[in-house]
């Protein structure tokens, strides 16, 4: 029920943007409906920890109110043993959520983007990306004003060496195209700079110039999308590429570890929700719902804080991504110890 409710809420939240796309961008309703359907696997994965947390609280509260736990404890069964089925099932659901996120969600997001691209392809502007900035592996800065992915063409290109400790060049070209990492630039000029100087000492015009950019445009465009939409395998590849080039990859690393942390949040939510359900069971039927809302709020606040300090380099990306799970695990162990003493 929680999963279904979460899906309805998330679809309702994005409905305004979807209707605006239909009206403003003239995107056919069928394509919008298709993109909504493709987002459902992602909503399911996001809702699993919330659903399991609430289910655990309601179940343990009911067991306690009906004196089932009293009977089991009287028979000599310890609370730790009562926790085993809950934790075992949470591990299975966590792993299932990870697999769904890794394979089904990433696939559905790609298919959703394909549906939008297919429509854009037939519009006047086609598949166009504007103002693309990135740094290459040999410490070069690239700016392309307009990229046509269908035709593999570019307009208004700037390639600049940014290392002031050596002789530098800045290449400007009106247009060009690419094949893998090889760029063919047309109608341009090269400015030469002496080491440490900001003044051009030589200028050279060209009609055609071939440049090995050492990057693939499709990969750059993919990297500049929301990193959360990529699989862990692809994120790891992008992290390795950046680090090999000598650049930081903190944002990608945080997203990489968050993929695992969010998937296994179901397990950590169970460690704290089960003992809480037993402790507060006598307070009424709706205590499970109230506790769920409080715990969900705490979890996402902890995740937001952890992500923020991770992106700013105050803690390692691994600790930042797992911060909310760590908070739940520590408090869960404390509550488990207290309940087991009762």
Q: Do 61 and 144 share a domain, yes or no?
A: no
Question: What pLDDT score was predicted for residue 106?
Answer: 83
Give the DSSP H or E segment for 257: helix 250-263
Place of tokens 């099932």: 89
Containing structural domain, residue 148:
138-214
Calpha distance 228→247 (Å, rounded):
20
257-307 pLDDT per residue, tens: 998 998 899 998 888 888 887 777 666 667 767 777 888 888 888 888 988
Q: Do 258 and 116 share a domain, yes or no?
A: yes
**Which pair of tokens denotes residue 91?**
């591990």
266 inside domain? yes
Residue 335 scores a pLDDT above 90: no
Alpha-carbon 252 to chain mean position: 9
Question: What pLDDT score was predicted for residue 91?
Answer: 92
Question: What pLDDT score was predicted for residue 184?
Answer: 92
Q: Do 81 and 157 share a domain, yes or no?
A: no
Rounded average pLDDT over 108-123: 69
Q: Do 245 and 324 share a domain, yes or no?
A: yes
Q: Do 16 and 78 share a domain, yes or no?
A: yes
206-226 pLDDT per residue, tens: 999 999 888 878 777 766 667
CB 331 within 8 A of CB 275: no
259 inside domain? yes
Residue 92 scores a pLDDT above 90: yes
**Which pair of tokens denotes residue 247?**
């650049």
Last residue of a domain, one of 182, 214, 246: 214
Rounded average pLDDT over 82-90: 88
CB 163 within 8 A of CB 139: yes
Per the rule left: phi > 0, alpha: psi between -120 and 50, beta: everything else, 26 is: left
Please give the residue that has the higher pLDDT: either 317 or 19: 317
Rounded average pLDDT over 147-171: 83
Q: Do 106 and 167 share a domain, yes or no?
A: no
68 inside domain? yes
Q: Do 9 and 51 share a domain, yes or no?
A: yes
**Which pair of tokens denotes residue 196?**
């440490």
Number of domains in the chain: 2
Last residue of a domain, one of 214, 230, 252: 214
């Amino acid at each position: 029920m929680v999963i279904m409710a979460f899906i309805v809420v998330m679809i309702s939240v994005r409905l305004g943007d979807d209707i605006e796309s239909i009206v403003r961008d003239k995107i056919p309703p069928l394509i919008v409906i298709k993109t909504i359907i493709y987002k459902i696997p992602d909503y399911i994965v996001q809702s699993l920890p919330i659903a399991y947390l609430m289910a655990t609280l309601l179940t343990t509260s009911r067991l306690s109110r009906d004196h089932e736990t009293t009977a089991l404890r009287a028979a000599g069964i310890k609370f730790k043993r009562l926790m085993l089925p809950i934790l075992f099932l949470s591990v299975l659901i966590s792993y299932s959520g990870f697999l769904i996120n890794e394979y089904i969600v990433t696939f559905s997001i790609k298919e959703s983007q394909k549906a939008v691209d297919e429509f854009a392809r037939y519009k006047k502007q086609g598949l166009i990306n504007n103002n693309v900035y990135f740094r290459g592996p040999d410490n070069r800065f690239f700016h392309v004003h307009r990229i046509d992915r269908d035709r593999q063409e570019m307009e208004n290109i700037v390639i600049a060496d940014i290392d002031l400790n050596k002789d530098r060049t800045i290449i400007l070209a009106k247009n060009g195209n690419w094949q893998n990492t090889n760029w063919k630039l047309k109608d341009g000029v090269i400015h030469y700079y002496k080491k440490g100087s900001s003044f051009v000492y030589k200028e050279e015009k060209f009609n055609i110039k071939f440049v090995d950019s050492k990057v693939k445009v499709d990969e750059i465009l993919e990297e500049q999308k929301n990193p959360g939409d990529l699989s862990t395998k692809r994120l790891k590849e992008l992290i390795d590429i950046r680090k090999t080039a000598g650049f930081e990859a903190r944002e990608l690393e945080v997203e990489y570890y968050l993929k695992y942390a969010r998937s296994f949040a179901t397990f950590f939510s169970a460690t704290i929700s089960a003992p809480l359900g037993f402790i507060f069971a006598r307070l009424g039927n709706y205590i499970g719902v109230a506790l769920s809302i409080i715990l969900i709020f705490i979890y996402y606040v902890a995740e937001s804080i952890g992500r923020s300090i991770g992106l700013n380099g105050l803690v390692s990306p691994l600790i930042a991504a797992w911060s909310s799970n760590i908070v739940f695990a520590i408090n869960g162990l404390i509550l488990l110890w207290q309940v087991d003493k009762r």
